[in-house]
Amino acid sequence: MHPSDWRADRIGAALRGENPTVLRRLDAGFAVIGDVQFLPGYAVLLADQPDVQRLSELPRPKRLAFLSDLDRLAEAVELTCRRLDPAFRRVNLEILGNRDPYLHAHVWPRYAWEPDELARGPVWGYSRERRTDERYRLGPRHDRLREEIGRELDRTAGVG
């Protein structure tokens, strides 16, 4: 697989060190920054087992480790986004798996500047065009965000 094809196998690419969105390797997965940052700080926790589709497929210790990793990532996103944007309100967490069959969890920062009708519901209320808009594509302008979320993850390493 060519390194530019990392999106076709996000977990395998992370395991091989070829997924450029990886922020940190955690106990049961990989903290990655979202490909599109229409809500700055959007991140995803990828399970480190590509064949696992549901949380319930993991043995309980690994399941608890995944949920602990999700807690760490959510806290890192929250602390970073609160520091960088005074309009930060909270994070929303989702484990869906309806489109991508591998176990992963979304960490969505939410802001006071969001339109009220969208802020009251799940992120999926935003139009597909907004959620895939090239203006929000992950790029160098997100380096500070990446660094700060990573720093927060490092700060909580081994704490528990």
DSSP-assigned beta bridge partners for residue 109: 91
Report residue 82 as tokens.
């609160």
- CATH assignment of 3-155? 3.30.428.10
Sketch the domain layout of the chain as residue ranges.
3-155
**What is the four-CA torsion angle of 45, 46, 48, 51, rounded to 10 degrees?**
140
- Mean pLDDT of all residues belonging to the chain: 93
pLDDT of residue 1: 42
pLDDT of residue 159: 61
Mean pLDDT, residues 125-130 taken together: 94
pTM of the predicted model as reported, rounded to 2 decimal places: 0.93
Q: Are 102 and 12 in contact (CB under 8 A)?
A: no
Q: What is the pLDDT of residues 30-55, one digit of tens each?
A: 999 999 999 999 999 999 999 999 99
